[in-house]
Homo-oligomer: A and B are copies of this chain.
């Protein structure tokens, strides 16, 4: 900046004025400064600027998701990023691996970089690190899972209601033995979806068969094992409700391996690419991922811009997408 000032024969303050488009600089001077900046390849230093400015904005937000390579997470990131771009804000992104310690470290890193706010998919278990950061005044929005502490916005989907709806649809087709395959029980979403499953059973007048419930399936491999065990029961389920993406894929593989994909009904929570191209197409509960991302971004930017209204828990509705696998009636034994 000093070099630019020297070359344009003005003070650094005038360069600052020109760069920031502030009034108080004559047309000729503006031109000289612009030219000097161009020839020297000058780029303002946002860090120094933020240090001095009164608002102390870094024009950067943090995004901490579980795994940025997961389609759900990356679609969410993209939606947040789009909104951020419109506000001239860049995104610092990290994967927490659902590991509290790692999430805490990343949070400290973000804090050290003075991000204006963070959008977080909270790791399972206690949220002390999140709460602490929140209490230091960092604007924060949780996505997918709500906070266990107060005063913080969050955006989730209709986990319970949509799960109930899925189970009710299966029951309406005549299924009485509907299995539940779920992700880690520490996750709030898993609990909600399981609750929805129970509600669905109850509402359909079905009794819960404990042995048809398999949880803590961390990935497709675990889901395969669980699905295999279920099908080997004396009285196997005639329908499966898989409460997560990878679990659905694992269950599908087993059905397919046994040639049962047209005989046993399957509804999964979370859509995935090509679900419509399989035979049969996979009926899923589809979350409105861009909608969730948009809402989260809206909330965080509102807070950053000083919105002090009471915390919001936004619920973005999911929809049942019927493709065939969830419309299979129970076959005669």
Contact = CB atoms under 8 A, between A and B. Distances in A.
Interface of A: 41, 43-48, 50-51, 58, 60, 67-71, 73-75, 77-78, 81-82, 85, 88, 90-95, 106, 108-114, 132, 136, 249, 252-253, 256, 272-274, 277-279
B279 A112 contact: no
11 contacts: A43-B136, A45-B114, A47-B113, A68-B81, A82-B95, A88-B109, A90-B94, A90-B106, A91-B93, A253-B277, A277-B278
Given A45-B112, A74-B77, A249-B277, 18 more contacts: A43-B108, A43-B111, A43-B112, A45-B51, A45-B114, A46-B114, A47-B47, A47-B50, A51-B51, A69-B75, A71-B71, A78-B95, A81-B94, A88-B109, A90-B109, A93-B93, A274-B274, A277-B278
Contacts of A70: 74
Nearest to A135: B41
Contact of A95 (B60, B81, B114): B81
Given A69-B74, A95-B78, A277-B253, A46 B113 contact: yes
Name the residue among A50, A70, A78, A252 with the largest chain B CB count within 10 angstroms. A78
Nearest to A137: B41
A285 to B, nearest CB: 18
Nearest to A252: B277
A182 to B, nearest CB: 21
Name the residue among A50, A51, A114, A277 with the largest chain B CB count within 10 angstroms. A277
A93 B77 contact: yes
B41 A132 contact: yes
A113 B278 CA distance: 46
Contacts of A75: 69
Contacts of A91: 92-94
A114 B279 contact: no
A129 B279 CA distance: 47
A235 to B, nearest CB: 28
Contacts of A43: 108, 111-112, 136
A53 to B, nearest CB: 11
A85 B94 contact: yes
